[in-house]
């Protein structure tokens, strides 16, 4: 019997390759400037989570539930009509919900209002097909993980023009994201 894998399903915005590479450069500069020990994540894992759809393992009845959730999520995504949006950042901070391995993130205020609006529109579609959504949302892009706490501070970072959104399966503990679907923003 193979070991159990836990899957996290989520919708997200992902930067294009050039932007992801530039954001990794920002991460590297922050590591040097702030004296951090962390390595930047692989560029293909950089994203802004829009809606987390749950954790599921692949060796119990949860696998069937995950398939059902995926099917409903894909149906909801197919009905979304939303304009392309600009993603930029103006704040750097650590999320401190735990004591170690803290996410260092780019976030922002009004510069991420388009992301908030798109998330709300997708959330309405998800609720219409019977999926639950979390009302709490802090739009952010995780640059790296480190034990050091970085207090909130202004940091303007150019992002990208989001032209699509994605459904992803994150294989927990394996540092792997599997693309499940992609939808264009009009």
**pLDDT interval class at 27 (50, 70, 90):** very high
Residues ≥6 apart with Cβ < 8 Å to 67: none
Which residues are CB-contacts of 96 (< 8 A; sequence separation ≥ 6)?
A: 102, 149
Lowest mean pLDDT among 39-43, 126-130, 169-173: 39-43
pLDDT tens, position by position, 129-180: 999 999 999 999 999 999 999 999 999 999 999 999 999 998 876 777 889 9
Angstrom distance (rounded) from CA 48 to CA 128: 23
Give the global pTM.
Answer: 0.91
Q: Does the domain made of 6-184 have the CATH classification 3.90.1140.10?
A: yes
- Neighbouring residues of 60: CB distance < 8 A, sequence distance ≥ 6: none
Does pLDDT of 62 surpass 70? no
Q: Residue 43's pLDDT is what? A: 82
């Amino acid at each position: 019997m193979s070991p159990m894998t836990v899957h996290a399903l989520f919708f997200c915005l992902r930067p294009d390759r050039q932007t992801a590479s530039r954001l990794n450069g920002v991460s590297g500069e922050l590591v040097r400037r702030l004296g951090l020990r962390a390595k930047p994540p692989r560029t293909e894992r950089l994203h802004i989570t829009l809606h987390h759809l749950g954790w599921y393992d692949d060796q119990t009845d949860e696998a069937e539930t995950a398939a059902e959730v995926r099917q409903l999520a894909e149906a909801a995504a197919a009905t979304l009509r939303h304009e392309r949006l600009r993603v930029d950042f103006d704040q750097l901070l650590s999320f401190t919900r735990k004591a170690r391995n803290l996410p260092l993130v780019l976030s922002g205020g009004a510069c991420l209002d388009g992301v908030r609006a798109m998330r709300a529109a997708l959330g309405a579609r998800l609720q219409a097909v019977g999926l639950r959504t979390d009302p709490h949302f802090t739009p952010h892009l995780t640059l790296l993980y480190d034990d050091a706490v970085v207090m909130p501070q202004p940091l303007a970072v150019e992002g990208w023009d989001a032209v699509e959104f994605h459904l992803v399966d994150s294989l927990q503990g394996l540092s792997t994201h599997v693309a499940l679907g992609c939808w264009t923003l009009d």
